Amino acid sequence: MKEVKLVPFNHKNEEQIAVKFGYDDAIRVHLKKLLDIKWSNTHKTFYIKNSTENKSKIYNHLRLINCYINYSELIIKKPNISKTLNIQLPKLNEGQEKNLQKFRKWLQQKRLSENTVNTYVEVTSFFIRYSILKNTVDYSKRLIESFNYDFIVHSNKSVSYQNQCINGIKKYLEYKGLEVERFELQRPKKEKKLPVVLSVEELKRVLDQTHNLKHKTLLSLIYSAGLRIGEAINLRVKDIDSKRMLVHIKGAKGKKDRYTLLSEVFLNLLRAYYKQYKPKEYLFEGQNSEQYSSSSAQRVLKGSVEKAGLRKQVTLHTLRHSFATHLLENGTDIRYIQELLGHSSPKTTMIYTHVSETSVRKIKNPFDNL
């Protein structure tokens, strides 16, 4: 297996990825087939713009010819929390480490997602080390507020992360059997941004630019059934109920099952896809019959959006937003949309009333009377 090294470097005042390898015609010819790859006479190397999408693109492209890709220099190291706070946090002792692992198991028994468990354990570790620094085991409101400021506010972390930190600390206090009610930390409010929505015409342009049958089927399913990307790639062949014209979503967000719509037009596309690809377990399989990845799906969508000439910031979730908005514009009751999307609260679904064009079009603009 030949080694190829991916190295960050600055070229033409932009961050690039240099592709380093020993002289090899097969690699050179293969690299030239990759879209957006360029050659620098100055640096004597192939290069591509440094982005998350391009890292995955070049990695997958080189794996096709069985290369070993060394991307260690591209890995962004997490900032040292001690440096962020400009203080040196003490290490946990063996007993504290064991207690933290017990806390992890306790969280897992609560059936929280693995990402949530990892975040809660991480922030709790910092919080305990912070309390050692302050030479106290009294988890008072004042200590927690001090930690909240030093660790989150002063470090300019996101609102979402701040809320996760508060949740993590509260879960730890619950685990320790301490009074949670007496800690009234002020939660920051998230910015209320309206979702990006594609018109029917824009959506058709995007799908028309998606020529690969598997890619087109996946994007069409996400839109036609209003799915999250995780729900789409977790679908199994048996979850498609063509007799009842329903898609069975199992274990979705909040550990809930639900049914959503199966479009008749989409079903024809799905049958053509199934006939060609013959998936065994998961409806959409990647290499080696494994589950298709969300990052691959996002790259496909981005490419189709660019080819369609759209300037909107479109993600896979935009397709789900568009599904809900188009249903609302067609007169579907908001309660049915809530069920199809799997929202726990109608308040979440109500956001689509703010982006629907139907009601807005009925309003006469006062400028027209001038």
Contact 6, 58 (CB under 8 A): yes
**Tokens linked to 81:** 């929390």
CA nearest to 259, candidates 272, 268, 246, 270: 246
Catalytic residue, from 253, 258, 302, 307: name it. 253
Respond yes or no: is residue 205 known to be catalytic.
Answer: no
Catalytic-residue membership of 343: yes
Cβ contacts of 190 within 8 Å, gap of 6 or more: 159, 160
Helix, strand, coil percentages (3-state) for the chain, rounded to 5, are 55, 10, 35
Structure tokens at 117: 């468990």
Token couple for 324: 């809900």
Place of tokens 């030239």: 32
Dihedral, CA atoms, 341, 344, 350, 355, nearest 10 degrees? Answer: -40
Structure tokens, 261: 């719509």
Q: What DSSP string runs through 330-362?
A: TT--HHHHHHHHT-SSHHHHGGGGGT-HHHHHT
Any catalytic annotation for residue 43? no
Q: Are 152 and 161 in contact (CB under 8 A)?
A: yes
317 has catalytic annotation = yes
Is 228 among the catalytic positions?
yes
Strands 38-40 and 256-261, sheet pairing: unpaired
Which of 57, 228, 299, 321 does the annotation list as catalytic?
Answer: 228
Q: Specify whether the CB–CB gap between 323 and 224 falls below 8 A.
A: yes
Which listed residue (5, 214, 248, 317) is catalytic? 317
Instruction: Supply the DSSP symbol for 367.
Output: G
Q: Which of 20, 299, 320, 321 is catalytic?
A: 320
Is residue 25 within 8 A of residue 7, CB to CB? The reply is no
Does residue 248 carry a catalytic annotation? no
Provide the annotated active-site residues.
Answer: 228, 253, 317, 320, 343, 352
